[in-house]
Amino acid sequence: MASRVVFYCGLAFSAIGLITIGIGVATPNWLEAEAKAGTGFDKLGLWEACFTRFTYRYDSTATIFDGCWGILSRTYSSIRYWLAPAWFVNVQVLATLSMLGQVAVVICLVMIFVGCWSCFSNRPDIEVISWFVISTVELLTGILAGSGCIMFATNSSSDHQWLEKPYTNYRSWSFGLVCVSSVAALIAGGLIFIEAVRIRIRQKKSKTLRRGYEMRPSRRY
């Protein structure tokens, strides 16, 4: 590798992307209610929702929800169809796929960093392909996370059949972290792609020099 600066930067941005999306997906602060909203809604994440003595008007069980519970828990079974509409499930899927992809990329980059990728040193074609695959996966994770952020931002404020008084809610730091993750993943994917191109160019130059050396006529004394 002619220079490892680009690789180190790609690894750093990949790590930032993974850390931020991990925290963003795990925490319930994608959407929060203003202090004086009075809707009973407190905050919500991709997998957890918090209410204060809230009753959904179309809930046949008339359950009073008070506290924080997992969206997939039995507590919200009677209102899950409302709490997690189709677009919200799509955001969950996009963010989860992005996080899994970033985990895979970081593992591969760490393996390269510690030298485990040296097994491909005798197979330059496979080495280059693997670099391009890693960069493509990282770019896709950034696109997935960004698409999820756009979908959430658009629907959380425009879906009037979802939470009451959407104008009293605001997108919070968990959502922001996933947006940061999207940008970091796109930057990392670009850097890894640049590194892949540099490795490919280096291999072509090396092959050209080797062929030229082999074709030189030997001198006889």
Give the pLDDT confidence of 82-130 residue by residue, as tens digits: 999 999 999 999 999 999 999 999 999 998 888 776 655 566 677 788 8
Q: What is the pTM of this model?
A: 0.86
Q: Evaluate if residue 66 carries a pLDDT over 90.
A: yes
Determine the pLDDT at residue 210.
57
Q: Where are the domains of the chain?
A: 5-29+84-211
**Higher per-residue pLDDT: 37 or 47:** 47
Query: Whole-angstrom Cα distance, residue 42 to residue 169?
Result: 9
Task: Produce one character per residue of 19-50: b if its CB has 16 or more CB atoms within 10 Å, e if not.
Answer: bbbbbbbebbbbbbbeeebebbbbbbbbbbbb
CB-based burial of residue 9 (10 Å sphere; 0-12 exposed, 13-18 middle, 19+ buried)?
middle
Where does the pLDDT of residue 2 fall: very low under 50, low under 70, confident under 90, or very high at 90 and above? very low
Q: What is the pLDDT of residues 84-95, one digit of tens each?
A: 999 999 999 999
Question: Who contacts 97 (Cβ-Cβ below 8 Å, separation ≥6)?
Answer: 141, 144
